[in-house]
Amino acid sequence: MGSSRSWSGLLVVCVACAPTIGDDSDKSATDSSGTTDGLPDDTDTDSADPGDDTTPCGLDVALDQVFFTEGDTVSFTVACTDGPIEDGAVSVAGAGEGATFNPDTGVFHWETDGQSGGRYDLTIGAAGGGRLESVVVPIWVADSPSAPNARDPRPLTYTEEWGLPVVHVEVGGTMTEAEQDATITVRDQQVEGFAKIRGASSTSYPKVSYTLDFESDELGVTEWGERTREHMVLITTFDDNSYVRQKLGYDLWAAMAEHQGVERLTPRTFFAVLYINGTYQGIYTACDRIDDEFLRHMGTSGEGSLYKSVSHDANFYLHDASGRTKSWLGAGYEKKEGDPDNWDDLYALVQHTGASDDDTLWNDHPGMDLTEFADWMLWAQFALVQDSAGKNAYLYADPDAGRWRFAPWDLNESFGQNWYTLRLSATQRNDYYWNNRVFRMLQEHPEARELVIDRFTDLREDGPLQPAVLHSMIDDYLAILGPNIDRDWARWESEYQSFGRWAGDRNARGDWTTPAEEVAYIRAWIDDRMAMYDGAGPI
């Protein structure tokens, strides 16, 4: 589960650092004498006297892996590469109960059990040549219900699983689509709140998505930056066995904004492992909930109208997705923030886009920044984000900027698969004429086409629409996820392949992939798609 690695001694040690431990029992250091006093009190932690010609230890710690499961044996050697280890001057601090270190062989040994789960920052020190050398080596022990002395992980101490933050949700019964009281713990923060199953089609998945509401206090997460949150959305990876599509889509939208130097509403995400009532649920993409709090985090007042498009009737035309005249101009939308009885701003927008010809809409577009709509279109078309080009998108009437803002949502149908997980060709085009009137104008009006081509060219030449940039983003995700992918896949593979929606007779798939194969598919898809764009242009 991990590659062989070693840590060399650094003249920076944290003898007094408190390690992160797997439970609340005593996890004190085990030194060469078998005591638990940590590093010897009389060890000089400063560099040797310049006149001292003795050779320092050159501490080396060799591990075959750093990711373990409860019940595994953790074993490694500590050695000096440049000089001898002084008698009695070796210690390994921060391990679990039962860990030992043999000073004669330099072997650390620990038989973990069902109460050992968590992250351990092992401080390993040795004195040689009159100086102290030390390294801090992190290891992770994942929960296993089948390990000896097994117990459910304790939320306040089981904070990471193989490098990913753990979200613990404790509820009184079975999770449903109705809110229920919940105790929610992330890292060392625990709050009271509510939890519920979220989504539409995904509610039928064996591994569903959730919304968490932190009622008693806001909650901060390192991966989310400095701002605390009132809510967290946990997006299932059940319909994406690459595990990266959702995050790649959101991060691409954010990278486009950063490259263009413009302000955009960019949902922030991170990977996490979920446990519900002590039971492993697997990897999730944790995401902002799009609401007034998110809008404030994005630098707005959050006091304008926020709408979510929930069907393809939200198309900026005066007719619905079936071609019938709309009975009301809010068709296809739900209002999420702002006065629930006042939809005047949206009605005016749809009336104008729907009633205007291309030339009128290009020259007269009050409250619309067409560069933002162009970026939205380029993002949706390149990644083939089929839903978020029309429905499953957010529109915010920003009273401070005096314009409409877009935020993406629901990205499981993207980067080469549809919402049934069936393949979408890298050379497939979708102009989205039928579900977005503004996108149609941007592609048919001559000056609008120039705008779109200019923005694409900029993003392609030295921006995020370079395959190398997208591959680098995927590399980063895989490094963060590590062996968690294999752990999740072992739990959900059989249910993924047997799930009726994409495994039944009507949509039978004969191209099942492993996670590694699915990532390879996305990489090849990105390369092929960009080759198509380079040959034929963006529109």
DSSP 407: E
HSE of 512, CA atoms in CB hemisphere, 13 A: 11
Task: Please write the tens of the pLDDT for every residue from 392-446.
Answer: 999 999 999 999 999 999 999 999 999 889 899 999 999 999 999 999 999 999 9
Angle between helices 467-481 and 515-536 (to 10 degrees): 170
The rounded percent of the chain whose pLDDT value lies above 90 is 71
- Phi, then psi, of 90 in degrees rounded to 5: -130, 140
What predicted TM-score, i.e. pTM, was given to this entire model? 0.89
Kindly tell me if the per-residue pLDDT of 1 is higher than 80: no
What is the DSSP code string of 289-323? --SHHHHHHTTS-S-SEEEEE-STT-SSSSB-TTS
Higher pLDDT, 82 or 538: 538
Q: Which residue has the tokens 């007034």?
A: 292
pLDDT at 348 over 90: yes
Contact 208, 199 (CB under 8 A): yes
Give dist(CA 44, CA 127) in Å, integer.
8
3-class SS string, 470-487:
HHHHHHHHHHHHCCHHHH
H/E segment holding residue 492: helix 484-498
For domain 5-142, give the fold.
Immunoglobulin-like (2.60.40)
Task: Reply yes or no on whether the pLDDT at 212 is more than 50.
Answer: yes
Q: Are 21 and 27 in contact (CB under 8 A)?
A: yes
Tell me the pLDDT tens digit for each residue of 302-317: 999 999 999 999 999 9
DSSP-based three-state secondary structure for 235: strand
pLDDT of residue 501: 74
Contacts of 336-339 with CB under 8 Å at 24 or more apart are 336/290, 336/291, 336/306, 336/307, 336/308, 336/394, 337/291, 337/292, 337/295, 337/302, 337/304, 337/305, 337/306, 338/303, 338/304, 338/305, 338/306, 338/397, 339/305
Quick: pLDDT tens for 7-37: 543 323 332 233 333 344 434 334 333 333 3
Beta strand segments in 188-301, E: 189-198, 209-214, 231-236, 269-276, 279-287
Q: Where are the domains of the chain?
A: 5-142, 152-236+264-298, 255-263+299-536
Question: Does the structure show a pLDDT above 80 at 334?
Answer: yes
